[in-house]
Every structure is written in structure tokens, then in C-alpha cells.
Amino acid sequence: MKKKLLEKLKRIREVNPFSLSGFNYCYSRLLQELAYFTDSSFGRPTSAIILLTNRCNARCLHCHSWKLPPVEEMTTVEWKKTFHELRRWLGPVFISITGGETLLKKDAIEIVEYAANLGFWVEFLTNGYLMDEDKAGRLAQSGVKRIKISLDGSRSEIHDNIRGRKGFFEKATYALQTLAQKRDKWNKGLKVWAKTSIMSLNVEDLPNIVVLARDLQIDGVEFQALEPVYYSKQLGDPNWYKDNPLWITDLSALSFNIQKLKDLKERGYPVLNSFENLDLIENYFNDPDRLSFKVHSHDYEKKKNECRSWLGGLQIMPYGGIKMCHWMKPFANVRNRKINNAWENRQRCRKDSSLCAYLNKDLREFNFEEG
């Protein structure tokens, strides 16, 4: 056990412990590893995922956020109060602000600016449809560190088909290009990324997306393998991929285009995934039952199919619900409970798989938006 703990702690050394964020990260990771090896409930998150809204103006084939019923969303004042609580508890940790479509949320950019001004390392996700020059300029100057925009094809026929509506390709590429221009003018440290979900509808187009990213002068493309359709019954179905038309069955085409991505990366094109990561994506489509736990947890280096979200997972839903991961029900609400108190007294999903759709496998009717 001592040897395993030392191996885990080696990763912490990669962070600069002399910065405030580095100290907080190292301290939190140390608590997490000690909690894991002692089976204790102490520890704290090193990051948080913030869902501003479930509302979405797209009709994506691989995400059903747009099908969710309306909820009473947190106000701007409530989000600011929440960020203050997080800052006092966790320090300047990584915050990913996402949706739904984030820019449908009134004051979304004000909320982002506020979080960044508190010192959080902020990532902001959007489909880009509502982006304009003013919003791009504000975001570039907001203090946000990274902006990701969905780009699932190098042509409108592919991207718009996946997004379920016409005009999204034009808007996404405009948003990426405009943000890159504002980055160069206002904030050269800002990273502008495209995010691509790999599926049957775009597997032949993957290299073209990378070339387009270079032409748009963005910082790179992050590829992500297809997962069970978000906010659908597929999340609790171990056989979800077998009848899913988005699943890649032409494995030779997949192998060919993954290799082309590797070749482009070697030539300096902006492929953000590591070579090992690309190999894992290819292997995942060949053997999903064996590798899904890595892909679905977004932890491609994960060694075992076990829940570690109870150690450091934190998601806050649009209505204030607190979760440890996407696969579980909320266990508290920030509107009536202090976040640190709720998290420290959480039920550990590792010991109660009924809380978790992924570990349970039978929760086909799982209500992921129960407030």
C-alpha cells in the first residue's frame, strides 16, 4: 500500500507547490489519496464542474440536454455567492463552466468574469451559436483561461447534421476565428480550443477538422470518443452502443483516420490529444466493454474500473443540486446547504452503488435532474 501511495504522490510533484493554486492542489490531492488508502471521508475536490443551464439551442444527436424539463435556475447573485463559498473552501481551483448552452444563460459572461476575478482557473464551453464580436471581446478580457467550442465536422453538412440544426457550422467557425483574433489582441495566454466528439458521422472527416483548426488559427482540437447519449436512458444501459447508429462499426476507417491524426500531430498540426490517448480511443471502439470506464470517466489513465469521484468529484447543477459526478443523483442543494458541509457529509457512492447509474447498470429510468 505504501508503494502505491508514493506512486500517486509523485504526480502531485508536477504542480508548482509555491503558487497558491499549486499549494491548494497538492494539499487537496494529498487528502484525496490518504482518504482512498484509509477508506476515510476527508479530502476535498481539486476542481468543480458548473452547469449554468440545461437549456440548449442545438438538437444534438449525442446529447439530450435540450429534452430536459425546465428548472428554476440559479440567479446571478446565487452563482456569485456559490463561487465565494468555493473560493473560501477550495482556493483557486480549476472551474469548468458548461451547460446546456452556456450563452443562453443571462449574465453568463458576467458570471465567468466574476469567477475569474476570484482567482479560479476558468474554462468556458459553448457551441458558439450566440457568439458575436462583443461577447468574444469580453470573454478574451474576462480572465478565463480556456474556451472550448464544439466542432464536429469540417463542413456544414457534417457539423449541422450532428448538431441537429442548420447554421451551426457557420456560427461555430466564426466564433472560433473571432475568439482567436481577440486572443491575439487582448490576451495571448487565452487558449481557444475546438472540441470534437468522434462518431460514425464524422470518422472520415477527423483530419479535415484539424486542418480547419489550423486555418482558423486556434490553439488546437481536443478529440473525445462517443459516449452514451447524455441525459438519456442509455446512461444506465451497458449495451447502449450496440444499437446506436453513431457508434463506429467501420473499424478500418477509424484506424486509418486515427493514424492520420497522429501523422498530422507529428507534423505540428494542432492535435491536442496525446498519441497514447488517440490509441485508447481506437481501442475503445474495438473493445468498449473493457475500456468504457476510462472513456466515460474522462480519465484515460485510469487503471481500474472503480469509483473515485467520492474522493474529489464536484458538480453543481443549474438549480443548485450538488453531485460528485454526472452518473449520480444530487445529494444536496447549494440553496439550502453549505457546499463544504454537504460534500464532507456525502454518502460515498463507492459503498452504495444504488446512487450510481454507471455502477448499477440497471437504472434505465434514472432521473438525473431530480432537484
- Site of grid cell 444501459: 237
pLDDT of residue 298: 66
Residue 74: pLDDT band by 50, 70, 90 thresholds?
Answer: very high
Determine what percent of the chain is predicted with pLDDT higher than 70.
77
pLDDT band at 371 (very low <50, low <70, confident <90, very high): very low
Least confident segment among 167-181, 205-219, 258-272, 321-335: 321-335
Q: What is the DSSP letter of 365?
A: T
Closest of 100, 50, 47, 99 to residue 78, by C-alpha: 50
Q: Residue 189: its pLDDT value, please? A: 96
State mean pLDDT over 130-138: 98
Output 310 or 202, whichever has higher pLDDT: 202
Q: How confident is the model at residue 31 (pLDDT cuts 50, 70, 90)?
A: low
CA–CA dist 341, 239 (Å, integer): 37
Q: Average model confidence (pLDDT) for the chain?
A: 86
Alpha carbon distances (Å) from 59 to 55, 146, 164, 334? 11, 25, 5, 29
With 70 as the cut, is the pLDDT of residue 8 above it? no
Dihedral in degrees, nearest 10, Cα atoms 302, 304, 307, 311: -60
Contact assessment for residue 151 and residue 159, using Cβ atoms and an 8 Å cutoff: yes
Is residue 167 a contact partner of residue 130, using CB atoms and an 8 Å limit? Answer: no
CATH no. for 44-319: 3.20.20.70
At 365 the pLDDT is 42
Question: Above 70 in pLDDT, residue 318?
Answer: yes
pLDDT value, residue 237: 78
Calculate mean pLDDT across residues 80-93. 95
Over residues 107-135, the mean pLDDT reads 98
Domain ranges of the chain: 1-40, 44-319
